[in-house]
Amino acid sequence: MPGVPLRILVVARWYPSHDVPGRGSFVADQVAALAGAGARVLVICPEPVYAEGLDGPQRAGRLARVERWAAVIASRLAFTAPVGRGAPGVPVLRIPAPLPAGGDATRDPVELAGLEAAALLPVGRALHAAWPFDVIHAHTGLPDGLAAAFLADAVGVPLLTTEHDSATPRRLEDPAAVAAYRGLMGPGRAVVSVSRALAGKIVERLGPDVGRIAAVPNVLPVDTFRIRPDAERDPHELLWIGTRKESKGAETLLRAFALLYQERPALRLRLIGRAASEAEEGRLVALAGDLGVAGPAWPPRWRGLRCSSTRVHGRPLESWPPRRSRWAFRSSRRRPEASRRSWAVTAGSERSPGITHRPRFRRRSPRPSIAARPSIRLPCERTSLGATHRAL
């Protein structure tokens, strides 16, 4: 109806929480943008809960318990608007997303979507009766999109699924997953991706008859950041923010940096984030050595520090070291908005809304797994501040 704000129910397990404030920050940015545009938004966040017997002979009884648990949640619908994380002022309700326990338990996304739907359906029906939403927006198709599809059918509303997960093409090697994912498209359904590269890979798995998947990059609140003067920057330092793995171009970065370093030996490369695995970490460290850009360990004064205050949209505000770098990049073919986010962080931030002071840092004992990892510095640095910068 004209003049009536659109009511949107967001279903996303990738959403900032107290324990993981940086998880799904890109979803929170979009939720904040929708709310700022006048839409009324509620978020249901399925939180993984391990339970035994979900993939065995006791499955029916275990699922009945999950449904009773969800019924209690549905009877209250106790949405809360977290302070300091997620989209400011947008209510969130966290529900259980059952996961079979055990090392050999199933991780089939179609099966997990059915388990999630067992909790989502009672809560979603109760919410629709009390607050009739107009559309469901799910983030990631496997499993949140599939679970949200059950709810969309139950209450008769359209479903939009935004695909963020770079692992989706691999999961779509399963014919059952392909058949289920195709159900996210059709009348009253649509799938968009955060990049053209990811959309293309999904279409390759689904088949050309599904048509084109539109690319809608994640939003970035650029007004939060302000450019710092060049005088405060180190012209010889380059900054990388993100997970170091092949799909994000980490190897290409090291090889390109090695070429630059031959001509400009004063250059330094600072890598903030973690490798995808210990094996990948070792491979990249070895490659840096082979290329002649590995150096001594990270300075002790940086190890074990973390930001204890000042957050912007639920993420730590990093005043340093990122703001001092002259150039920043995060190569991500599947999530191009990550590069824009990294540049915005590197640009630095002065007095922005919600920021009243500079971050305070306190020292803590580093985890052994972090302290034991080799670091690269001069000309190529790698920080062990994974907990601080993971949200970026």
Q: Give the chain's length.
A: 392
As annotated, the residues of the chain forming the CATH 3.40.50.2000 domain(s) are: 7-215
pLDDT (0 to 100) of residue 292 = 87
CB 77 within 8 A of CB 126: yes
Task: List the single range of 49-63, 109-123, 134-148, 308-322 with lowest mean pLDDT.
Answer: 308-322
User: What are the tens digits of pLDDT across the range 149-208?
Assistant: 999 999 999 999 999 999 999 999 999 999 999 999 999 999 999 999 999 999 999 998
- pLDDT given at position 325: 53
Query: 387 vs 127, which has greater pLDDT?
Result: 127
Burial 195-210 (b: 16+ CB within 10 A, else e): bbbbbebbbebbeeeb
Specify the pLDDT at position 294: 81
* Average pLDDT value over all residues in the chain: 76
Q: What pLDDT sits at residue 319?
A: 35
Of residues 81 and 361, more confidently modeled: 81
Class for the domain spanning 7-215: alpha beta
Distance CA(226)–CA(187), nearest Å, equals 43
List, in order, residues 6 or more apart from 166 with CB less than 8 Å away: 198, 247, 334, 335
Distance (Å, rounded) from C-alpha 41 to C-alpha 6? 8
